[in-house]
Amino acid sequence: MRFLKLVSTLLLIVVLAACSTSASSGSTTNGSDYPSRTINITIPYAAGGSGDLQARIIAEFLQKELKQTVNVISKPGGAGSIGMNAVKSSKADGYNIILTAVGPSTLTPNSNDVGYTVTEDFEQIAQISEAPYGIAVNESSTVKSLDELLDQAKNNPKSVTYGTTGAGLHQHVVTSAFLATLDGVEMEHIPFEGGAEAVSALLGNHTTASVNTVSEIIPHNGNGLRILAVTSEERLEDLPEVPTFGELGFELIGNGAWFGFMAPKGTPEEIITTLDEAIKKALEDEDVIAQFKNAGLPIRYLNSQDFKTKVEQENVKNAEVIQSLK
Amino acid sequence: MSTEVIEGILYALVPAAIIANLLGVALGIVFGSLPGLTATMGIALLIPLTFGIDPVVAFSALLGVYVGAVYAGSLTSILVGTPGTAAAAAALLEGPALTKKGEAKKALTMTTVASAVGGLLSCLALILIAPQLANVALTFGPPEYFALGLFGISIVAGVSGDSLLKGLIAGLIGFFIALIGMDPITGTNRFTFENANLLNGIDVVPALIGLFAISEVLTRLEGKSEQMKARLAETSIGMKFTDLKKNWFNILRSSAIGTFIGIIPATGSGVASFVAYNELKRASNEEDKKKFGKGNIDGIAATESANSAVTGGALVPLLTLGIPGDVITAVLLGALMIQGLTPGPTLFTTNGDIIYGIFTALIISNIFLLILGLGAAKVLPKILQIPESILMPTIVVFCILGSYSISNSTFDVLIMLVFGFLGYLLLKFGIPLAPLLLAMILAPIIETNFRRSMLLSQNDFSIFITRPISAVVIIVTLFILGRILWNEMKKKNLKQQSIEGES
């Protein structure tokens, strides 16, 4: 009996010691031994969506690269603000990061009082993807180019409609800002619940045009729909004959739906750099590239500094548009 | 039969695909029957595992989960009055009453058979006429959705029980709850009280768990509902072949309704089972109508075949147009794309073999569903042997875990508890809960599509009657509403006459 007691006491000491060392190593904040425990990636979206998918692909790579468990936690709701607030209020030690997107970062906090500002409460780690939008019409339409669509809208005010993913979402913000720069062009916005509904309304000829993420309309191009222009800076590999808005002489306030990693404000720079480098490496990995390509998600890496600048600029521009929409 | 078809069928028959399918259905049944774990979650969890796996094997597993989960949502509805999904709520109309009568096994067997038949019939529709059906889906624009939603509201009368007025009260409460959150057209906040948790509105699933499960537990706490143990001996009553025989047309009609509603994107299985139930009720004679709501096995046959038939229907727009009709098919769309398959008009010509593999996998899933389900129907009623003092707290624990796990949100747990209390109060006043839920599901369809239609027509109401589909649906709805009012008046007159006669 005494022997058993001795063994269990020893065991207890060992366990306690192990715990205290891991606890103390976890508490070093300069990040020299980062990461020493599980990293949690929050997504402000429901499981199963494109945000979840990207997080899981990257998490799988980071797990191998950083030799630590990487979890993906879904916190949807509140137009993305629930997930953002959860990460904002967690410890700034690099173990709680978020894979967020344009909506929760620069749209929601500008239209609602949700308790955070992306530039003040978050550190930008890296942008990973940016999916451009395309504007399309039904193939049976007489409209063959963006100019013709705009002319039609000019000649028949309010009777030309365009569908998007939803009210106040990026597609809507970018398009309405674009239309506001044009003289006398009025198009009626029809918000749908998600991109798929908008595409099916256009396929069924219920709307005149639709602004969608290109991956949603490419499969129908020349087979029900006609894509008139894309929002990316350069022409797309899959759509070599479709011009960009820039080529046609129009300037946009956003080039597409981006996703990027952020951490709570005050996360040590060293940790941000470690994560940024690991994410960059992930996006250069062949398997990761193949998975992104199959899922129709264009990789577009921006490092911490460039991402930060971009978020700052878009935040200002989007805030203006959202105010004008109100 | 072309070689593509045969190749496809063979893909789905390799041992790996069969095993994946079986495990998928089993996992789906577990996910579906536990409140809060949804088919969407099950599929989302499996997707990362399908990277680099043969597409037909991957889809055998994913479709297995889909079919299993849609079916199993009703099992807990019937046994303990705890629906796991909105689709399973319709099973509450007859299920718990059957269990109380000691016919749990019979109800579960009917659920299984009706689900499998509904699933297989919708598969058949998917295989034979998918491209034609897809075009029907496209003719549905905002005015048509609005008309369909309006038609759905006429069901409130069918699920109101004895008092139409109380049903309407419940429906209006549901409508009000659906208004909470961001305005779908302008993005303005409604009744959110600056609480970010309310921006996206009240999630139907936690509300439903609270409304039905917690209220039931609270009612039982009063000790008013009879002890379960007394009914134990009778739970062994099985389903007879005559039950099935007399329901063949009912199942056929309900499956057609389910398939059709599945094809129309953004309506969903919740609506399908209520419509099927209502149609069954309308088709019955006055004598049979009185049996509804008191444990009628025919009702179960209708709701369950309809909600399982949605599976095949929902795959029609997904595979032929690349348009997912609900959250589950949206996740499946992601899974297809990861496999390098782009759903849409070209998929049938470029990857015909895989499409036929997927069709075969879906058929196999429904067969496994029948086998596993019949086993479950034997075993599951034993849950009722657990003393109520243990079973009820366990249900509460599952409700809390379930409502938390939907979006990892403690706010949803709060919502669930508030709705539990609301449900209890409403039951006390004799207000039926089904119309409330139905209104919560239909209100967003009606509101957003009404307003979209008005935007499209520049505020001209004639858009609803100049388009053929919406005109027909609206006229039918008005006719049904007229009849409901007429019947009410007649009932009132009869009552008055009998009172006068007595005095």
CATH number at A188 reads 3.40.190.10
Same domain, A107 and A77: yes
In 3D space, the residue among B236, B497, B197, B166 whose CA is nearest the CA of residue B384 turns out to be B236
Residue (of B194, B176, B216, B182) closest to B83 by Cα position: B216
Terminal CA-CA length for chain A: 77
Cross-chain residue pair A206–B183, CB shorter than 8 Å: no
**pLDDT tens-place string over residues A264-299:** 999 999 999 999 999 999 999 999 999 898 888 899
- CB-based contacts of B232, cutoff 8 Å, min separation 6: B384, B385
Tally of domains in chain B: 1
Task: Tell me the β-bridge partners of A190.
Answer: A163
Residues of A in contact with B184 (CB under 8 A): 166-167, 191, 193
Report the pLDDT value the prediction gives residue B1, as an integer from 0 to 100: 55
- Taking contacts as CB-CB distances below 8 angstroms, the residues of chain A near B333 are 196
Is position A27 within any domain?
Answer: no
Does residue A242 form part of some domain? no
A74/B407 CB distance under 8 A: yes
pLDDT of res. A21: 46
Residue contact B343–A50, C-beta within 8 A? no
- Torsion angle, CA of B443/B445/B451/B456, rounded to 10 degrees? -170
**Residue in B with minimal Cα distance to A51:** B334
Residue A11 has pLDDT above 70, yes or no: no
Residue A61 sits in the same domain as residue A111: yes
Domain membership flag for residue A244:
no
Q: Closest residue of A to B195, CA-based?
A: A114
B233 vs B75: which has the higher pLDDT: B75
Dihedral of the alpha carbons of B403, B408, B410, B414, in degrees to the nearest 10:
-30
Crossing angle for the helix pair B352-379 and B55-80, nearest 10 degrees? 30
C-alpha distance from residue A199 to each of A193, B201, B283, B307 (Å): 11, 24, 37, 26
Q: Is the pLDDT of residue A156 over 70?
A: yes
Determine, yes or no, domain membership for A7.
no
The arithmetic mean of pLDDT across residues B332-350, rounded, is: 79
Which pLDDT value is given to residue A311?
96
Among left, alpha and beta (phi > 0; psi -120 to 50; other), residue A252 is beta
Q: Whole-prediction pTM value?
A: 0.85
Place of tokens 């940790």: A271
Q: Do B199 and A81 touch (CB under 8 A)?
A: yes
Please state the rounded mean pLDDT for residues B39-51. 82
pLDDT at residue A25, rounded to an integer: 44
Edge-to-edge, what's the strand order for the sheet holding A257-264? A70-74, A39-43, A96-101, A257-264, A122-131, A299-302
**Residue A167 shares a structural domain with residue A200:** yes
Q: pLDDT tens-digit profile of A22-33?
A: 444 444 455 678
Instruction: Taking residues B198-212, report their average pLDDT.
Output: 88
Domain that holds residue B418: 3-502
Q: What is the pLDDT of residue B230?
A: 45
Report the CATH number that the domain containing residue A53 is assigned in CATH: 3.40.190.150
pLDDT tens digits, one per residue of A86-102: 999 999 999 999 999 99
Report how far residue B308's alpha carbon sits from residue B298's, in angstroms, rounded to the nearest whole number: 16
Average predicted confidence (pLDDT) for chain A: 89
Residues 267-306 of A with CB under 8 A from B: 291, 294-296
Distances in whole angstroms, Cα of residue B111 to Cα of each of A77, A139, A317, B212, B312: 34, 45, 55, 20, 17
Which amino acid, residue A117? Answer: T
In B, residues 365-384, which contact A (CB 8 Å cutoff)?
A: none
A residues 200..239 contacting B (CB < 8 A): 200-201, 203-204, 206-207, 215-216, 218-220, 223-224
CB proximity under 8 Å: B 191-210 to A: 194, 196-200, 203
pLDDT band at B472 (very low <50, low <70, confident <90, very high): very high
Q: In the numeric block, which tokens belong to residue B337?
A: 């794309």
Q: Do residue A178 and residue A260 come from a single domain?
A: no
Chain A residues near residue B197 by CB distance under 8 angstroms: 77-78, 82
On whether residue A260 sits in a domain, the answer given is: yes
Q: Which has the closest alpha carbon to A196: B334, B111, B193?
A: B334
Instruction: Label residue B236 by pLDDT band (50, 70, 90).
Output: low
Q: Which chain A residue has the Cα nearest residue B410?
A: A75
CA-nearest residue to B197 within chain A is A78
Q: Is B289 a residue whose pLDDT tops 60?
A: yes
Q: Does A243 touch chain B (CB under 8 A)?
A: no
Report the distance separating Cα B234 and Cα B38, nearest Å: 32
Are both A80 and A95 inside the same structural domain?
A: yes
Beta carbons of A158 and A311 less than 8 angstroms apart: no
- A321: in domain: yes
- The reply to whether A302 falls in a domain is yes
> Which residues are CB-neighbours of B392 under 8 A, at least 6 positions away?
B217, B220, B221
Are A42 and A114 members of one domain?
Answer: yes
| Phi and psi angles of residue B260, each rounded to the nearest 5 degrees, phi first | -60, -45
Write down the pLDDT at residue A22.
46
Whole-angstrom distance, CA of residue B271 vs CA of residue B276:
9
In whole angstroms, what separates CA B190 from the centre of its chain? 27
Residue A239 phi/psi, 5-degree rounding, is -130, 65
My answer on whether A101 and A159 are in the same domain is no
Work out the mean pLDDT of chain B and round it to a whole number.
86
Question: Do A161 and A295 lie in a common domain?
Answer: no
- Chain-chain contact of B334 with A201 (C-beta, under 8 angstroms): no
The reply to whether A146 falls in a domain is: yes
The complex's ipTM works out to 0.84
Domain boundaries, position A91? 37-130+256-325
Domain count, chain A: 2
